[in-house]
Chain A
Amino acid sequence: MREASARAVAWSAAAGVLLVAVLLVSATIGPEPITLRTVAMAALTELAVPVGASVTMHTHAVPVVSGGLPWPALTIAYAAPLQFGVPETAQVIVGTIRLPRIVLGATVGASLAISGAVLQGFFRNPMADPSIVGVSSGAAVGAVAAITLPSVVVIGVQPAAFAGALIAAFTVYAIATKNGHTPTATLLLSGVAVQTLLGAVTSFLVVNSGREIRPAMYWLMGTLHGSRWHDVEAALPVVVVGSAVLLAYAREMNVLLAGEEDAHTLGVDVDRTKRLLLAVASVVTAAAVSFAGAIGFVGLIVPHAVRLVVGPDHRVLLPVSALTGGAFLVAADTVARATATEPPVGIITALIGAPFFLYLLRDREVRAL
């Protein structure tokens, strides 16, 4: 097992280096080319460390309650310890336009890849991806409803997508659960059925959306356009905490691959572990898709490709998938940014992902259920 930890650290370090390299190179690319050296200095200048936190009570306006509700707000004070005197234009382009989008892209890619790896192991099915339990289709309904019917869904696109994702995932889980047991085959099938139903709802909303059709389509294809540090602040903590929990259950996931009955005789509390993995993977995926839309293929092919290289041990597979997924999505988004029409990044991931997946299907042993 020490050997496993050493492998996890070594592979994660390699994938981490890859991720940082992709992040920096990506930030040099754009309408205004900026040198790698300037990017590195601007990024370090932008680096903020929390130096203090205070809780203040705000009065939160709630439509049904006159006068509003007192609402605690956590204010974190940041300090930027490193200053390199980068030219202001470059600092603004890198620090407030490119980096937020790149860091959000890395966050989203990491969360899709780690949940994909978890769900592939969970279902013992290499074809599983984070959308399989209805998270993406639920988020799509929420987001498209918020875009096309802003007067009905007043909470905004991202909260609506997040809520839609979790409601869909919970519904799928509840349908598949009987007497405290959730057979994975039932879960898979109820996921497919709920996805189909929600897909119909989304299509209906899009068809009736009038001039809102373009933002709705962009969301559905997945895009990182217009990302701000504010988005990163909301998504990153969810993904980091969720990933940490998933990593803590890596050994259980290994044992679950032997089958649920074997896992039980090897001391895994199967139903509890499945519930927890499903819930955390759904929250992590929901956080990603509510900010970036339904980006396909990252959660399917990244864990696959990583598994081919590092093997099925989740203690290595999960962290390496997360870091590689982040790097992959940032790279794909860089291609999207560099393209004149700036297509949604979901188109790029599908253009790269589908041929790669077909290659896996033909040339590698993609094992059946």
Chain B
Amino acid sequence: MTLDVTGLDVELAGTRILDDVHASIRDGHLVGVVGPNGAGKSTLLRAMNGLITPTAGTVLVAGDDVHALSSAAASRRIATVPQDASVSFEFTVRQVVEMGRHPHTTRFGTDTDTAVVDRAMARTGVAQFAARDVTSLSGGERQRVLLARALAQAAPVLLLDEPTASLDVNHQIRTLEVVRDLADSEDRAVVAAIHDLDLAARYCDELVVVADGRVHDAGAPRSVLTPDTIRAAFDARVAVGTDPATGAVTVTPLPDRTSAAADTSVHVVGGGDSATPVVRRLVSAGASVSVGPVVEGDTDHETARRVGCPCTSVAPFTRLEDTTAASATRADIAAADGVAVPVAAAARPGVRGLLTDAVPTLAVGDAAGAPEWADRLVACDAVVSAVGALADTPSDGV
């Protein structure tokens, strides 16, 4: 039962909240809606389930306009997990989950599919407090109870508004695993507004980036979550890399300060873990950093992947001189404003041969073991200002 959103405009109290939003959610797909606070994510979900009537555009669920359906008919097709889990009267958890059966029960019928209710509670891990008052639960537990209520509703389309907002790290993952499984094994169409970009990237098939009431970009997480898109949507500076544990796109927000090294391009020579502190400092400072050569799988390699720097790697125990990595590194160095060589990496065989007099070279680390060919020797803490200085002064070597 696909959900199609076409040309959706929403105005609330005279203010345009959504502007020409298009989206399509197929069965078995989990689509994440991401965007800054106040972008219109919740409004989009509320227009999708029929709570808000749009000023223009349509929301079709299996071909029917959701706003033309009765609330009972709509609720048999679309279940919603609200963000705000406020419950003011002392129902038991089980009674709250049973309310999910409301659209399937006739006025004088007592028929409730207790098996559906039991399954929903077991799946969301709330079965052990079925008899407790919802008012006595924590915010995170209540959120899972509301997920169970939506599961009991047994609707083919599921909308979730920040389902992980008040959950601890364990239950964030468990909740999203449940949601992922609903799409995979039950073929439901799922839309989730998710704050955490890493979690969104990891679990969603597709992301819709909403900012300022418009869809900025939509598509697979890796194609959508780029530093440029995120800067445009969130007005935030980020490093985009790959999580070594899950292989998913990972987004690391960076402080928004302008440093001396911003807009400078630097190549960092790797080796073991010596480049990692240098890369971290330079990336945080806003420099565009390339790394290489690093040995596959070592710390420097993972760091480069994590922060999304271009990186050339070689297999362990390879003679550097013979590899294409060497020429790739030379090209990176030629394009950079400067090269930073950690003292520990400078001793690696073949490193000297990568360097050129055309690009200023900084040795980073203690004086002991510093190579004589470096233009300057700086402490790791001072690497950002030293790189900043490179951009201002033409190098001595030319």
Contact = CB atoms under 8 A, between A and B. Distances in A.
B388 interface: no
Contact of A264 (B51, B90, B107, B111): B51
Contact of A265 (B78, B91, B98, B105): B78
Contact of B71 (A257, A270, A367): A270
B88 A267 contact: no
Contacts of A258: 87, 96, 99
Given A1-B110, A261-B51, A266 B100 contact: yes
Contacts of B75: 264-267
A124 B102 contact: no
B112 A311 contact: no
A231 interface: no
Nearest to A317: B89
Given A254-B91, A254-B95, A265 B110 contact: no
A159 B70 CA distance: 39
Interface in B61-79: 70-72, 74-76, 78-79
Interface in B115-173: 135, 149, 153
B175 interface: no
B153 A266 contact: yes
A251 interface: yes
A312 B90 contact: yes
B291 to A, nearest CB: 49
Interface residues of A, number: 28
Interface in A255-291: 255, 257-259, 261-262, 264-270
Nearest to A120: B89
B99 A255 contact: yes
B105 A251 contact: yes
B74 A257 contact: no
A147 B89 CA distance: 42
Interface in B22-75: 46, 49-51, 70-72, 74-75
B312 interface: no
Nearest to A269: B71
A200 interface: no
A248 interface: yes
A2 interface: yes
Given A254-B95, A265-B51, A266-B75, A311 B90 contact: yes
Contacts of B74: 267
A248 B108 CA distance: 7
Contacts of B78: 265
Contacts of B87: 257-258
Nearest to A312: B89
A264 B50 contact: yes
A269 B70 contact: yes
Interface in A215-262: 248, 251-252, 254-255, 257-259, 261-262
B233 to A, nearest CB: 27
B82 interface: yes
B90 A267 contact: no
A41 B75 CA distance: 55
A269 B72 contact: yes
Interface centre among A1, A265, A269 (most CB of B within 10 A): A265
B103 interface: yes
A261 B95 contact: no
Given A251-B102, A267-B103, A269-B70, A1 B111 contact: yes
Interface in A126-145: none
A1 B90 contact: no
B288 interface: no
A54 to B, nearest CB: 33
A254 B101 CA distance: 12
A5 interface: yes
A325 B149 CA distance: 34
Nearest to B86: A259
B250 interface: no
A261 B88 contact: no
Interface of B: 46, 49-51, 70-72, 74-76, 78-80, 82, 84, 86-92, 95-96, 98-103, 105, 107-108, 110-112, 135, 149, 153
16 contacts: A1-B112, A5-B110, A252-B102, A254-B99, A262-B80, A262-B82, A265-B49, A265-B71, A266-B99, A266-B103, A267-B74, A267-B76, A269-B70, A311-B91, A313-B95, A367-B89
Interface of A: 1-2, 4-5, 121, 124, 248, 251-252, 254-255, 257-259, 261-262, 264-270, 311-313, 367, 369
Given A254-B91, A264-B51, 4 more contacts: A257-B88, A259-B82, A270-B71, A312-B89
